[in-house]
């Protein structure tokens, strides 16, 4: 149980670190979405013209870095969910014994 709790706490700090990076990239360019959870559109959206690497190289590279960080953030959230389940299971086992 202590190992699961420590892993859950480390997931919390990793989550805070990745959200800080997402906020940093959101503030670098006004065209970035202000949402932390949403991916930027790297794919053609109906009615919206996507900016390609040829149009604006700096923005597209920042957008791809931000999307990679959002992917890492989602992975950390799923990992934290697994650790929460382990902690709750260990607490229930401790109570029911």
Angle, to 10 degrees, between the axis of helix 57-96 and the axis of helix 2-28? 160
Length of the chain (residues): 97
List the domain range (segments joined by +) for residue 70: 2-96
What are 1-44's pLDDT values in tens digits? 889 999 999 999 999 999 999 999 989 888 788 888 887 765 55
* Distances from the Cα of 41 to the Cα of 32, 33, 53, angstroms: 10, 10, 13
**H or E stretch covering 90:** helix 57-96
Q: Which residue has the higher pLDDT, 83 or 58?
A: 83
Q: What does the DSSP 8-state code read for residue 51?
A: P
Helix (H, G, I), strand (E, B) or coil at 46: coil
| Domains of the chain: total | 1
pTM over 0.85: no
């Amino acid at each position: 149980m202590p190992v699961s709790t420590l892993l859950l706490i480390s997931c919390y700090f990793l989550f805070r670190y990745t959200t800080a990076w997402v906020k940093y990239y959101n503030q670098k360019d006004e065209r970035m979405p202000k949402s932390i959870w949403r991916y930027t559109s790297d794919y053609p959206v109906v009615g919206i013209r996507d900016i390609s690497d040829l149009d604006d190289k700096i923005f597209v590279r920042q957008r791809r870095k931000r999307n990679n960080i959002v992917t890492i953030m989602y992975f950390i959230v799923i990992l934290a969910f697994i650790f929460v389940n382990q902690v709750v299971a260990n607490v229930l086992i401790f109570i029911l014994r």
